[in-house]
Structure 1
Amino acid sequence: MSVLPRPTALLCALVAAATLLPTATPARGSSASLTFGACPDSVPRPPAPDRVECGRLTVPLDRQRPSGPRIEIAVSRVPASGTPAERRGILLVNPGGPGGSGLPYAVTKRAKLPASVRRSYDVIGFDPRGVGHSAPVDCGAMGGLFTAPGADPVPTTPWAERTYLTSQRHMADDCATGAGAQVLPYLSTEQTAYDMDAIRAALGEPRTSFLGVSYGSYLGAAYVARFPHRVGRMVLDSVVGPWDWHDFDVIQSRAMLRARDTFFAWTAAHAERFGLGVGADAVRRSYLRVRRGLAADPVNGFGPAEFDRAVYRALGRTERWAGLADGLRAYLTDGSPDGLRPASAFDSPESRNYQAANRIVKCADGPVPTPREVVADIRRIRRVDPQPVLTGLEASTCAYWHHRPDHRTPLGSPAAPPVLLVASAHDPVTPIEGARRLREVLPGSRLVTLDDDYSHGVFASRGNACVDRAVAAHLVDGTVPAADVRCSGPGLPVTAAAAPSR
Structure 2
Amino acid sequence: MPLPPRRTGLLCALAAAAATLVPANPAPAAPSPTLRFGACPDSIPTPPAPDRVECGSIAVPLDWDRPQGRRIKIAVSRVPASGTPAERRGILLVNPGGPGGSGLPYAVTKRAKLPESVRRSYDVIGFDPRGVGHSAPADCGPMGGLFDSPGADPVPMGPTAERAYLASLRDMADDCAAGAAGVLPYLSTEQTAHDMDAIRASLGEPSTSFLGVSYGSYLGAAYAALFPHRVGRLVLDSVVGPWSWYDFDVVQSRALLRQRDRFYAWTAAHADRFGLGGRTADVRAAYLRVRRGLAERPVEGFGAAEFDRAVYRALGRTERWTGLADGLRAYLRDGTVTDLRPASPFDSAASRNYEAANRIVKCADGPAPTPNRILTDIRRTRRIDPQPVLTGMEASTCAYWRHRPAHRTPLGSPDAPPLLLVASAHDPVTPIAGARELRRLLPGSRLVTLENDYSHGVFASRGNACVDDTVAAYLIDGTVPAGDVRCAGPGLPEPSGR
Q: Which range, TM-score by smaller chain?
A: over 0.9
Q: Is residue 116–residue 472 contact of structure 1 (8 Å, CA) maintained in 2? A: yes
Q: How far did residue 29 of structure 1 move? A: 8.6
Q: Is residue 273–residue 498 contact of structure 1 (8 Å, CA) maintained in 2? A: no
Q: Is residue 62–residue 72 contact of structure 2 (8 Å, CA) maintained in 1? A: yes
Instruction: Output the CA distance in 2 between the equivalents of 1:137 and 1:190.
Output: 17
Partner of 1:288: 288
Q: Is residue 63–residue 194 contact of structure 1 (8 Å, CA) maintained in 2? A: yes
Q: How far did residue 206 of structure 1 move? A: 0.2
Q: Counterparts of 1:195-206 in structure 2 under 5 Å? A: 195-206=195-206
Q: Deviations over 1:198-239 (max 9, x none)?
A: 000000000000000000000000000000000000000000
1:460 corresponds to which letter in structure 2? A
Q: How far did residue 30 of structure 1 move? A: 2.3
Partner of 2:90: 89
Instruction: Output the CA distance in 2 between the equivalents of 1:80 and 1:49.
Output: 11
Partner of 1:57: 58
Q: How far did residue 497 of structure 1 move? A: 2.1
Partner of 1:498: 497
Q: Is residue 184–residue 364 contact of structure 2 (8 Å, CA) maintained in 1? A: yes
Aligned-residue RMSD, C-alpha: 0.9
Q: Deviations over 1:431-474 (max 9, x none)?
A: 00000000000000000000000000000000000000000000
Partner of 1:133: 134
Partner of 1:178: 179
Q: How far did residue 498 of structure 1 move? A: 3.2
Partner of 1:18: none
Partner of 1:371: 371
SS in 2 for 1:33: coil
Q: How far did residue 402 of structure 1 move? A: 1.0
2:295 corresponds to which letter in structure 1? A
SS in 2 for 1:491: coil
Q: How far did residue 31 of structure 1 move? A: 1.8
1:402 corresponds to which letter in structure 2? R
Q: How far did residue 259 of structure 1 move? A: 0.4
**Which runs of 5 or more structure 2 residues have no equivalent in the other structure?**
1-28
Instruction: Output the CA distance in 1 between the equivalents of 2:277 and 2:32.
Output: 63
1:106 aligns with 2:107: yes
TM-score by length of 1: 0.93
2:314 corresponds to which letter in structure 1? A
Instruction: Output the CA distance in 2 between the equivalents of 1:435 and 1:42.
Output: 33
Instruction: Output the CA distance in 2 between the equivalents of 1:57 and 1:469.
Output: 34
Instruction: Output the CA distance in 1 between the equivalents of 2:289 and 2:93.
Output: 45
Q: Deviations over 1:403-447 (max 9, x none)?
A: 111100000000000000000000000000000000000000000
SS in 2 for 1:102: coil
Partner of 2:386: 386
Partner of 1:269: 269
Partner of 2:278: 278
Instruction: Output the CA distance in 2 between the equivalents of 1:498 and 1:139.
Output: 40
2:154 corresponds to which letter in structure 1? P
Question: Aligned pairs, how many?
Answer: 470
Q: Is residue 309–residue 391 contact of structure 1 (8 Å, CA) maintained in 2? A: yes
Q: Counterparts of 1:322-341 in structure 2 under 5 Å? A: 322-341=322-341
Q: Deviations over 1:321-345 (max 9, x none)?
A: 0000000000000011111000011
1:274 corresponds to which letter in structure 2? F
Q: How far did residue 496 of structure 1 move? A: 1.3
Q: Is residue 144–residue 169 contact of structure 2 (8 Å, CA) maintained in 1? A: yes
Partner of 1:398: 398
SS in 2 for 1:423: strand
Q: Is residue 239–residue 435 contact of structure 1 (8 Å, CA) maintained in 2? A: yes
Identical amino acids, percent of aligned pairs: 80
SS in 2 for 1:59: strand
2:166 corresponds to which letter in structure 1? L
Instruction: Output the CA distance in 1 between the equivalents of 2:43 and 2:231.
Output: 30
Instruction: Output the CA distance in 2 between the equivalents of 1:30 and 1:246.
Output: 36
Instruction: Output the CA distance in 2 between the equivalents of 1:445 and 1:456.
Output: 21
Q: How far did residue 128 of structure 1 move? A: 0.1
Instruction: Output the CA distance in 1 between the equivalents of 2:285 and 2:232.
Output: 51
Q: Deviations over 1:132-160 (max 9, x none)?
A: 00000110000000000000000010110
Partner of 1:13: none
Q: Deviations over 1:288-341 (max 9, x none)?
A: 000000001011000000000000000000000000000000000001111100
Q: Counterparts of 1:304-323 in structure 2 under 5 Å? A: 304-323=304-323
Q: How far did residue 92 of structure 1 move? A: 0.2
1:425 corresponds to which letter in structure 2? A
Partner of 1:253: 253
Instruction: Output the CA distance in 2 between the equivalents of 1:167 and 1:429.
Output: 24
**Which runs of 5 or more structure 1 residues have no equivalent in the other structure?**
1-27
Partner of 2:211: 211
Instruction: Output the CA distance in 1 between the equivalents of 2:67 and 2:88.
Output: 33
Partner of 1:7: none
Q: Is residue 241–residue 433 contact of structure 2 (8 Å, CA) maintained in 1? A: yes
Partner of 1:343: 343
Q: How far did residue 278 of structure 1 move? A: 1.5
Instruction: Output the CA distance in 2 between the equivalents of 1:48 and 1:308.
Output: 41
Partner of 1:414: 414
Q: Counterparts of 1:413-432 in structure 2 under 5 Å? A: 413-432=413-432
2:169 corresponds to which letter in structure 1? Q
Partner of 1:22: none
Partner of 2:11: none
1:217 corresponds to which letter in structure 2? S
Partner of 2:20: none
Partner of 1:79: 80
SS in 2 for 1:486: strand
Give the 4+ runs in structure 1 shifted more than 2 A.
Answer: none
Instruction: Output the CA distance in 2 between the equivalents of 1:29 and 1:465.
Output: 42
1:360 corresponds to which letter in structure 2? I
Q: Is residue 30–residue 60 contact of structure 2 (8 Å, CA) maintained in 1? A: no
SS in 1 for 2:339: helix
Q: Counterparts of 1:120-159 in structure 2 under 5 Å? A: 120-159=121-160
Instruction: Output the CA distance in 1 between the equivalents of 2:133 and 2:480.
Output: 35
SS in 1 for 2:113: coil
Instruction: Output the CA distance in 1 between the equivalents of 2:120 and 2:329.
Output: 46
SS in 1 for 2:359: helix
TM-score by length of 2: 0.94
Instruction: Output the CA distance in 1 between the equivalents of 2:478 and 2:146.
Output: 45
1:263 corresponds to which letter in structure 2? F
SS in 2 for 1:106: helix
Q: How far did residue 36 of structure 1 move? A: 0.2
SS in 2 for 1:123: strand
Instruction: Output the CA distance in 2 between the equivalents of 1:374 and 1:29.
Output: 40
1:99 corresponds to which letter in structure 2? G
Partner of 1:25: none
